[in-house]
């Protein structure tokens, strides 16, 4: 393992970026040397809290700090310009999801990093949540055999708009905010998606766009999947921010139940495991599931920087996840099944 200390910078000092900074502070081989935000007060707050320099101009920061990696934690409309700029000044670029608004923008960002040799990693943290890391391990061990069915369910009524009010105005909210995570998670467990059929709903009267969807997937392997998401499902206790899952193989089933219980049914019988992550010193319930996954993702990024791992997911890989979201959106409007490969080809 490389003992090199990596110097990083963060762009965007908003609500979720605090999780990035806290998690980076726990990784001994990383130092965040500067942060940048157009709002000087936000940048100053982060710099004082985490002991780094503050900037309001990204180009000035990159030219003066010469970082080993850049962590972009801004909204999607800024990603194209920031990734393209960062690719010229660093070894590795991390981009928050949604990666891009269009496939064309996403492809241009991938090419920009390829042109300079910078590695591009997309911050998709659902696949890095502790229960799903363990589920992936069980699959790799062959505990339930080849997969044939997946169900993912992310349904809650937690007020996600209180700290991120802009979400209420997004037209395709559920698909672009959490759908991306769920489709990436499905691909990490089951492989690439061939086609998708999707229906959406608008449930919360405070929301301008759709805040719920149901998607039926066919994977290239022949397996099928069902993904459901709702931001307005009233349950007690509210499972937020957990994703529940059922993964069936030819020799058994893995179920992720509320309360982080993992039930494994195989030829050896039934076993139950608790996969609740620990609460970081800087974290709190119920956010600890997400907060721990951010640190797990960032630990993976360090492995990528050290040449010990391939980016998961890379920018190139995330292109197809974005294509699934676009295909699902088209399906919800046309009420027709969409072929993911055709969506990719139409954008080429």
Q: pLDDT digit string (tens) for 122-165?
A: 999 999 999 999 999 999 999 999 999 999 999 999 998 988 88
Please tell me the distance from the alpha carbon of residue 248 to that of residue 267, in angstroms, as a whole number: 13
DSSP state of 157: -
Residue-level pLDDT at 132: 98
* H or E stretch at 234: none
pTM (two decimals): 0.94
Q: How confident is the model at residue 2 (pLDDT cuts 50, 70, 90)?
A: very low
Please tell me the distance from the alpha carbon of residue 133 to that of residue 158, in angstroms, as a whole number.
25
Percentage of residues in the chain having pLDDT higher than 70: 98
In tens, the pLDDT along 177-201 reads 999 999 999 999 999 999 999 999 9
Let me know the angle formed at the C-alpha of 293 by 297 and 2, rounded to the nearest 5 degrees. Answer: 35
Distance CA 246, CA 224 (A): 12
Q: Cα-flanking dihedrals φ and ψ of residue 229, to 5°?
A: -145, 135
Q: Of the ranges 91-95, 121-125, 166-170, 305-309, which one carries the lowest mean pLDDT score?
A: 166-170
Residue 158 burial (CB < 10 Å; 0-12/13-18/19+)? Answer: middle
Under the banding of pLDDT at 50, 70 and 90, the label for residue 345 is: confident
Residue 16: is its pLDDT beyond 70?
Answer: yes
pLDDT (tens digit per residue) in 234-262: 999 999 999 999 999 999 999 999 999 99
- Supply angle C-alpha 342, 346, 348, rounded to 5: 115
Report, in angstroms and rounded to the nearest whole number, the Rg of the chain calculated over CA atoms. Answer: 20
Q: Cβ(256)–Cβ(135) under 8 Å?
A: yes
Across the chain, the runs of DSSP E, i.e. the strands, are 6-11, 30-36, 53-55, 69-72, 92-96, 119-123, 147-155, 193-201, 212-219, 224-230, 244-249, 252-257, 261-266, 269-274, 338-339
Strand 193-201 with 212-219, pairing: antiparallel
Q: Could you tell me the pLDDT band of residue 268, with boundaries at 50, 70 and 90?
A: confident
pLDDT of residue 1: 37
The pLDDT of residue 330 is: 96
Identify the weakest region by mean pLDDT among 3-7, 13-17, 100-104.
3-7
The SS3 of residue 261 is strand
Beta strands (DSSP E) in 37-166 are 53-55, 69-72, 92-96, 119-123, 147-155
**117 Ramachandran zone, left/alpha/beta (phi>0; psi -120 to 50):** left
Using pLDDT thresholds of 50, 70 and 90, give the confidence band for residue 339: very high
Q: What is the pLDDT of residues 43-63, one digit of tens each?
A: 999 999 999 999 999 999 999
- pLDDT attached to residue 347: 66
Range 21-27 average pLDDT: 97
Phi/psi region, residue 8 (left: phi>0; alpha: psi -120 to 50; beta: rest), is: beta
**pLDDT score, position 79:** 97
Question: What 3-state class would DSSP assign to 104?
Answer: helix
Q: Is the confidence at residue 21, as pLDDT, over 80?
A: yes
Average pLDDT, whole number, for the chain? 95
- How far, in Å, CA of 225 to CA of 239, rounded? 21
Backbone angles phi, psi at 57, to 5 degrees: -120, 115
Between CA 327 and CA 103 the distance in angstroms is 11
pLDDT band at 3 (very low <50, low <70, confident <90, very high): low
Residue 136: its pLDDT value, please? 97
Judged against a pLDDT cut of 80, whether residue 326 lies above it is answered with: yes
Structure tokens at 285: 């319930």
List, in order of start, the domains of the chain with CATH numbers. 6-123 (3.40.50.720), 127-276+318-340 (3.30.360.10)
- β strands within 241-305, DSSP E: 244-249, 252-257, 261-266, 269-274
For residue range 307-325, list pLDDT tens digits in order: 999 999 999 999 999 999 9
Q: What average pLDDT does range 268-272 have in this prediction?
A: 94
**In degrees to the nearest 10, what's the CA dihedral of 84, 89, 94, 100?**
0
Tell me how far apart the alpha carbons of residues 343 and 121 are, in angstroms, rounded to a whole number: 22
3-state secondary structure of 202: coil
Q: What is the model's pLDDT at position 348? A: 62
């Amino acid at each position: 393992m490389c003992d090199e200390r990596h110097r990083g910078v963060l762009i965007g000092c908003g609500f979720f970026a605090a999780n990035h900074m806290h998690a980076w502070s726990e990784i001994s081989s990383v130092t965040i040397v500067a942060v940048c935000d157009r709002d000087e007060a936000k940048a100053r707050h982060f710099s004082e809290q985490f002991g780094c320099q503050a900037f309001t101009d990204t180009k000035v920061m990159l030219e003066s700090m010469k970082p080993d990696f850049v962590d972009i934690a801004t909204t999607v409309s800024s990603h194209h310009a920031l990734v393209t700029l960062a690719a010229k000044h660093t070894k590795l670029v991390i981009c928050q999801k949604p990666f891009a608004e269009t496939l064309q923008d996403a492809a241009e960002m991938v090419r920009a990093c390829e042109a300079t040799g910078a590695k591009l990693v997309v911050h998709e943290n659902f696949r890095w949540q502790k229960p799903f890391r363990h589920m992936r391990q069980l699959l790799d061990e062959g505990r339930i055999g080849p997969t044939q069915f997946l169900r993912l369910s992310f349904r809650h009524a937690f007020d996600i708009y209180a700290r991120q009010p802009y979400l209420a105005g997004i037209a395709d909210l559920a698909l672009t905010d959490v759908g991306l995570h769920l489709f990436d998670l499905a691909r990490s467990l089951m492989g690439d998606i061939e086609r998708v059929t999707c229906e959406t709903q608008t449930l919360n009267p405070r929301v301008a766009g759709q805040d719920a969807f149901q998607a039926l997937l066919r994977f290239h392997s022949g397996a099928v999947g069902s993904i459901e998401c709702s931001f307005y499902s009233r349950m007690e206790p509210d499972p937020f921010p957990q994703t529940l899952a059922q993964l069936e193989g030819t020799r058994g089933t893995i179920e992720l139940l509320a309360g982080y219980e993992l039930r494994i049914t195989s030829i050896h019988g039934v076993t139950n495991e608790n996969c609740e992550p620990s609460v970081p010193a800087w974290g709190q319930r119920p956010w600890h599931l997400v907060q721990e996954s951010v640190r797990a993702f960032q630990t993976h990024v360090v492995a990528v920087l050290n040449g010990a791992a391939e980016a998961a997911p890379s920018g190139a890989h995330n292109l197809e996840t974005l294509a699934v979201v676009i295909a699902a959106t088209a399906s919800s409007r046309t009420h027709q099944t969409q072929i993911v490969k055709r969506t990719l080809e139409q954008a080429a």
